[in-house]
Amino acid sequence: MTESKQIVQQLLESITETVDQLQQLVDADLDADCSHGCAQNGGVRRLLIHNIEHDRSHAGAISSIRSDAQQLQESELAFLVRDWLYARVELVAQLLQTPDEVLELYGPEEEWTVRKHIEHTAFYERDTIDVAIEETRGEVASATTS
């Protein structure tokens, strides 16, 4: 695995751990004091806002460095994966702080529960990508449609 791929993996694992920790909090905890300097004397809410902007700032800096080095991310695959990550984050965000009973709810004129939508998404993510990878490597795959 390349060093860049290792860093991507570390960042994904780190945010997963952070999301797990933050799900232990409730909205009222946002008003709690926080002594970390990045909270800028504004408590937990200010700390989280800082961390969000901190990530954006560094992402922008990295983009600028790549641009200056004429190493812009021009790969179509990189853009597709980025967009998929954005879409997955939207899906995950819909489940944050969601009571378990919501998983069994149906929407108006919906045939599936929230749980079924999630199971479908997870299954077809693996199924479709496994087939695509196998076929690009010339391996025999059993294609399934969604």
Rg of the chain (C-alpha set): 20
What six digits make up the tokens of 89?
């984050």
Q: pLDDT-based confidence at 74, cuts 50/70/90?
A: confident
Within a domain: residue 57?
yes
pTM for the model = 0.80
pLDDT at site 138? 87
pLDDT at site 73? 85
Within a domain: residue 82?
no
pLDDT at site 101? 97
CA atoms within 13 A on the CB side of 94: 11
At 56, is the secondary structure helix, strand, or coil? helix
Within a domain: residue 124?
no
Type of residue numbered 35: S
Within a domain: residue 43?
yes
Q: Residue 107 pLDDT > 60, yes or no?
A: yes
pLDDT tens by residue, 30-64: 999 999 999 999 999 999 999 999 999 999 999 99
Give the mean pLDDT of 119-145. 84
pLDDT at site 145? 54
Within a domain: residue 5?
yes
Output the average pLDDT for the chain: 92
Within a domain: residue 46?
yes
Within a domain: residue 68?
yes
In the chain, the number of structural domains is 1
Least Cα distance to 121 among 96, 146, 101 occurs for: 146
pLDDT at site 112? 97
Question: Could you give the percent of the chain with pLDDT greater than 90?
Answer: 90
Within a domain: residue 38?
yes
Q: Which residue range forms the structural domain that includes residue 24?
A: 1-73
